[in-house]
Amino acid sequence: MGAVSLHWLLPGKGLTQEKVVVIMAAALFIGFSIFLTGFFSVSNLIGLVRNICVLGILGVGMGLVIIGRGIDLSVVSVLAISAAYFIELLGQGLPIWSGFLFVLMLVILVGAINGFLVAYGEIPPIFATLAMGLFVYGFGRSQLMGQDVAFIPPEFTTLLALGTLKLWGVPLEVFVFVAVCLVATVFLKFTKFGRYVYYIGDNFAAARNLGIPVRPMLVLQYVACALFASVAGAIVALNLQSMNTRIVNSTLLYDVILIVVLGGIGLSGGKGGIRNVVFGALLIGILVNAMTILDFEDTHQNLIKALILLAAIMTDTLLNQRDEQTEKQGDI
């Protein structure tokens, strides 16, 4: 069974960037487990899994957008403000479901505005989503939040219990991550709208000429990305029983882009899948966890992650040369 399920890793199938990432992740995990004190402890492994799940959920949303040849730099702002504002509403006495629906509408609105700016305003995604991310954080922090950190009120015992809930010894967020991956995989692989995402990412003009509703599809991609970001925010808030909006100033956004591209989803669009996100999240999650245990400075961590990204991309380029037809597609 194992040989069949891992047939794509066999040398005869060709070494790709995706396989390099899997091999590196496995090697790092084994090496750190043997030589790094505290890495293989139960508490650290649980923390590692939780971090991978948050990175992975954000990566799934980012992956959907990048496959469609876009990018969303507002995901961390959506993560932070959606969770913090929900907690703020609870503190103001709003019922859980009312607060949930209100924040959900705001998240959908942010995603729709991102998509509208890109699809109908024809603003480059990097600028549109960067501006929206800054606006969401600035507006949320100045108009919606009383302070940087929002704490879940102690009377909401159900929410507090969800943060520590485990099913069969497995943290709840693992099941959430698996569910997110399954939903995104089914969407991309087994629906016509998922195929539209690949067509748009591969050749925008051709997709439009085929009659594909490219503009509404772009809006849908950004709405989905915002929704996944809010799910990740909910997980972080439940785990910590609070949300620190200063997470927007961390390197989390960089890590999300890194796991997507490192896993094998090209920024040129039309390529990759959810499996690539999972592998990228595993590698970066393991690496960041080990560097944290070793007490590496943030600057050194960023340097190491950048070098790994460059190495993976260069390896893929060397092992998978572009053929003549692909070369022509890149000509101007």
Max intra-chain CA distance, the chain: 65
The answer regarding whether domain 15-316 maps to CATH 1.10.3470 reads yes
Mean of pLDDT over the chain: 85
Per DSSP, the three-state class of 149 is strand
What integer is the mean pLDDT of 309-325?
Answer: 57
Residue 327, pLDDT above cutoff 50: no
Quick one: pLDDT at residue 186? 94
Residue 278, pLDDT above cutoff 50: yes
How sure is the predictor about 9, in pLDDT bands with cuts at 50, 70 and 90? low
Task: Tell me the per-residue pLDDT of 214-235, one tens digit each, with 9 for 90 and over.
Answer: 999 999 999 999 999 999 999 9
Q: Tokens 């890590």 identify what position?
A: 255
Q: Residue 141 is inside which H or E element, if any?
A: none
How far from chain centre, in Å, is Cα 131?
Answer: 19
Task: Tell me the per-residue pLDDT of 116-135, one tens digit each, with 9 for 90 and over.
Answer: 999 999 899 999 999 999 99
For the chain, the structural domain boundaries read: 15-316
What integer is the mean pLDDT of 291-310?
Answer: 81
Query: By the 8 A CB rule, do 55 and 284 touch?
Result: yes
As given in the structure block, the two tokens for residue 89 are 């509403």
pTM here is 0.87
As given in the structure block, the two tokens for residue 243 are 């949300």
How sure is the predictor about 80, in pLDDT bands with cuts at 50, 70 and 90? very high
Quick one: pLDDT at residue 316? 54
